[in-house]
Amino acid sequence: MDEYITPAASDDAAASANSVCHEFERSEGLRALLARLHAAGPGAWRGDREAAELMRYTASKYRPLARKHGLDAWAVASAAFEVMLAPSTRNAGNPWAVVTRAVQITCHAETRAAGILTSASKVRHTSRIAGFHDAVRFAERERLADYHPAFTHHDDGDADENEHEARVFALLSATVALFVSAGWDAALIAECVEHVAYRLADLSSRQRGVEVLRRDRTIPMLLGLPPRSWSALLRIILGHPDPKHAGTPVGDGVLLRLLSGETLDALRDDAALVKMIRAANPDKYAAP
């Protein structure tokens, strides 16, 4: 917005400007002002006094909405400004209604994006993300015990709780280290492993976890993972669900093997496992 107009920084200036009623506070006046600024061409917003007053008024008008969503009033005003530049706004029967609705959508998108750790643009344009809830660390969940007894929470004091959390952290860290040693990007696999652990907290069994996560197409898309890499990663971490692999290293998966006492070095020495991990690396499918 700065390339068009440089607003006053203080709330006092905004309050003073809003003590006087302006024509643009009504829809007809706003439409007229937007039409005039558009006809004046590029740079009209930057040096126009009425445009500056409009933006100070806009910041004040939407400040309660911004505070409700934990956003800065001028950030919300910037969103309103972008909408005001659109032809559909200055041609609308009620321009302020258009701006207000756009600001509401922006506030919601910013809040949701902060909650699920993604960008506001992805919240706006990825419909399936609407069903997601805010991110929660795996250690904050209680049903990981359904996956394996090692995740059972014992309320016997801080020492036991700290020991439990340390074991879970070590387990997931070892899983990440295994993939990194086989060529995966450390940040990417850390996000993948944490998401898998988080989703397991909501599911009743490992088999159910494999099935639900395998059908999840939104997360691999947000992480930039090809579908085949995502499916292979789940089989490697959680085990292959086919009954013929039951009780085998392939059927158990990395997570259960670590829980059962196998060491990270032992898994690194498993040539077949390392080969599968390397084959699942998304870099293998990246365009040259």
Predicted local distance difference test score (pLDDT) of residue 96: 94
User: Angle at CA 287, nearest 5°, toward 228 and 277?
Assistant: 40
Percentage of the chain modeled with pLDDT above 70 = 67
164/86 same-domain check: no
| 273/252 Cα distance (integer angstroms) | 12
Predicted local distance difference test score (pLDDT) of residue 164: 63
1 domain residue, yes or no: no
Which of 10-19, 79-88, 190-199, 207-216 holds the top average pLDDT?
79-88
Token pair, residue 38, equals 């558009």
Q: What confidence tier does 262 reach under pLDDT thresholds 50, 70, 90?
A: confident
Residue 108 pLDDT more than 80? no
Q: Where does a domain end: 131, 149, 184?
A: 131
| 253/189 Cα distance (integer angstroms) | 16
172/280 same-domain check: yes
What range defines the domain where residue 57 resides? 11-131
What are the C-alpha distances in Å from 156 to residues 145, 152, 159, 163? Answer: 16, 12, 8, 11
* 177 Cβ contact partners less than 8 Å away, ≥ 6 residues apart: 264
180 domain residue, yes or no: yes
95 domain residue, yes or no: yes
Nearest-CA neighbor of 105 among 80, 70, 72, 133?
A: 80
242/126 same-domain check: no
Q: What is the pLDDT of residues 21-73, one digit of tens each?
A: 788 999 899 999 999 999 998 888 888 899 989 999 998 999 998 888 787 78
What are the C-alpha distances in Å from 131 to residues 11, 121, 254, 273? Answer: 37, 16, 29, 34
| 158/260 Cα distance (integer angstroms) | 25
Percentage of the chain modeled with pLDDT above 90 = 19
37/152 same-domain check: no
* 208 Cβ contact partners less than 8 Å away, ≥ 6 residues apart: none
What sign does the CA torsion over 40, 46, 50, 52 have?
Answer: positive
**Integer Rg of the chain from CA:** 27
66/86 same-domain check: yes
Which residue has tokens 């006053």? 8
Number of folded domains that form the chain: 2
- CB < 8 Å & 24+ apart, contacts of 38-47: 38/87, 38/90, 43/4, 44/4, 45/4, 45/5, 46/3, 46/4, 46/5, 46/6
Nearest-CA neighbor of 115 among 70, 67, 172, 66?
A: 70
Cβ of 1: how many Cβ atoms within 10 Å? 18
Q: What is the pLDDT of residues 3-21, one digit of tens each?
A: 444 444 434 444 444 445 7
Q: Average the pLDDT over 143-147 and give the result.
A: 51
214 domain residue, yes or no: yes
What are the C-alpha distances in Å from 32 to residues 35, 43, 50, 79, 216? Answer: 5, 18, 12, 20, 48
Q: Where does a domain end: 131, 154, 186?
A: 131
